[in-house]
Amino acid sequence: MKYLPLNPAIFEKNRERFRKELLPGSIAIFVSNDEVPSNGDAVYTFKQNSDLYWLSGIVQEDSMVIIFPNHPDPKFREVLVLVRPNELKEKWDGKRLRAEEARKISGIETIMWLDTFDQVLQQWVHLADHIYLDTNENDRKASLVPTREYRFIQSMKDRYPLHQYHRAAPIMKKLRSVKTPLEIEVMQKAIDITHQTFLRLLHFIKPGVMEYEIEAEIFHSFLSQRATGPAYNSIIASGDRARTLHYISNSEQCLDGELILLDFGAEYGGYNADLTRTVPVNGKFTKRQKQVYNACLHLHDYAKSLLKPGISINDYQKKVGEEATAIFIKIGLLKKSEVKNESPESPAYSKYLYHGISHHLGIDVHDLGTRTEPIQAGMVFTVEPGIYIEEEKMGVRVENNVWITKNGNKDLMAGIPITAEDIESIMRK
């Protein structure tokens, strides 16, 4: 791993929170993600199962975490299963974790090798009444590929059909959406790396630069600061391309007089940052560009003021939409007659703001969490309104990450330049 060792108390606290949610007499088993083939004999870069990582901090393939709070032998109440190091395989693919290394990362004392696990699984399952198994229940998921976790579930049900099975995913959704202070420390590191990278870009961007050159600067800056890499594919969208929400081609030239939308974030220690800023390619906003940018920044600040315990994301989105309507009339995008005749299913403002304002953020960029229930202290959200004007070939978005507190929220990106004046000042220097 590129990042410095994390405090294992992060994962110890996470497991403690999870144990409290289990029924008496339960065993919970989490399995790692597959190594996914690409072409020929190659595989994609391994990405760990987010729930398993949240519980252990382990990023190695062929791993398992077992939590069995009522096991008669205390040493088997938490078990980490790893693939046994193999000298020949390590010559090709690199070193695998040793038991003591895994203990330091996870805080789990009992380490077991995968090739011995099947021998003890039967004993453990017969001591349990309830079996918790995990699946990816993110409501944005669309893949029909039978992943490792689904194959494991089927094999368990075939072997032990009379046990009571339970979904671990609803528990993980509840717990992972509320971050501990230890988790926030890691997220803040990812944000700080992203902050320094943005400052680097403000000095780098100029007319004639290619979008992919900016992307390369981001990647270089991230790795030089020990980030794992980008949290997601960076969006470097100049000119009219900024109206495409997930533009990742990053292949065009940035022209004098254009705005460029930069949506990027670092991953550090398994946790993610997610920043968006829109800046002038030549370092100076035109009068109209600044008007639209300031309107977007107003929506950003207004949205942030609403994010506090008790409001639901749906109600929050509705209130931001009402404010966007008023702002869009003010800057000449909407007429009052258009608003008067709008339908509830397609409000007039959605022509210029056609995405959600916030999503949960954490180990996953679109992290687990509810959209319908009241938000709680400890959750982390993006705040990212945008204004996209086809007639003017312009797209503007402003995004920060906020941690919900008891009475409001804390902006984890408060130190990153955000006003048009600050951006211009730094680019001018």
Write the CATH number for 363: 3.90.230.10
Q: Which two tokens stand for residue 115?
A: 């090739």
Which run of H or E residues covers position 236? Answer: strand 235-238
171 and 264 part of one domain: no
Going by their DSSP bridges, the two strands 130-133 and 164-167 should be labelled as parallel
Each as own residue / partner, the long-range contacts of residues 407-412 (CB below 8 Å, 24 or more positions apart, any chain) are 407/308, 407/309, 408/307, 408/308, 409/304, 409/307, 409/308, 409/381, 411/304, 412/184, 412/187, 412/188, 412/191, 412/380
Considering the chain, what percentage of its residues have pLDDT values greater than 70?
Answer: 100
Structural domain count, the chain: 2
64 and 85 part of one domain: yes
Instruction: Give the single-character DSSP code of 210.
Output: B
For residue 292, the model assigns a pLDDT of 98
Q: Using the 3D structure, point to which of 141, 176, 211 is the last residue of a domain.
A: 176
Q: Under a CB-based contact definition with an 8 Å cutoff, are residues 165 and 175 in contact? A: no
Averaged pLDDT score across all residues of the chain: 96
For residue 143, the model assigns a pLDDT of 73
Model confidence at 381: pLDDT above 90 = yes
Q: Is residue 1 part of a domain?
A: no
Alpha-carbon torsion angle 232, 237, 240, 245, nearest 10: 10
148 and 43 part of one domain: yes
Is the pTM above the cut of 0.75?
Answer: yes
- 332 phi-psi bin (left φ>0, alpha ψ -120 to 50, beta other): left
Question: CA-CA distance, 311 to 317, in Å (whole number)?
Answer: 10
130 and 222 part of one domain: no
Q: Using the 3D structure, point to which of 176, 195, 226 is the last residue of a domain.
A: 176
Domain assignment of residue 361, given as a range: 181-428
347 and 403 part of one domain: yes
Question: What's the CATH code of the domain at 97?
Answer: 3.40.350.10
Q: What are 353-373's pLDDT values in tens digits?
A: 999 999 999 999 999 998 889
126 and 235 part of one domain: no
Q: Under a CB-based contact definition with an 8 Å cutoff, are residues 410 and 403 in contact? A: yes
Q: Under a CB-based contact definition with an 8 Å cutoff, are residues 137 and 33 in contact? A: no
Q: What are 283-332's pLDDT values in tens digits?
A: 999 999 999 999 999 999 999 999 999 999 999 999 999 999 999 999 99
Q: Which of 48-57, 132-141, 371-380, 405-414 has the lowest mean pLDDT?
A: 132-141
Measured CA to CA in angstroms, residue 371 lies from 67, 322, 423 at distances of: 29, 19, 33
Q: What are 168-208's pLDDT values in tens digits?
A: 999 999 999 999 999 999 999 999 999 999 999 999 999 99
121 and 207 part of one domain: no
- The band of 102, judged by pLDDT with boundaries at 50, 70 and 90, is very high
Model confidence at 254: pLDDT above 90 = yes
> What sign results for the dihedral spanned by CA atoms 250, 254, 259, 264?
positive
Q: Is residue 83 part of a domain?
A: yes
Q: Under a CB-based contact definition with an 8 Å cutoff, are residues 247 and 391 in contact? A: no
44 and 167 part of one domain: yes
For residue 370, the model assigns a pLDDT of 85
Quick check: helix, strand or coil at residue 206?
coil
259 and 356 part of one domain: yes
Closest CA to 221 of 209, 203, 239: 203
137 and 247 part of one domain: no
132 and 244 part of one domain: no
Alpha-carbon torsion angle 207, 208, 212, 216, nearest 10: -70
187 and 319 part of one domain: yes
Q: Using the 3D structure, point to which of 120, 149, 176 is the last residue of a domain.
A: 176
Instruction: Give the single-character DSSP code of 33.
Output: P
For residue 139, the model assigns a pLDDT of 76
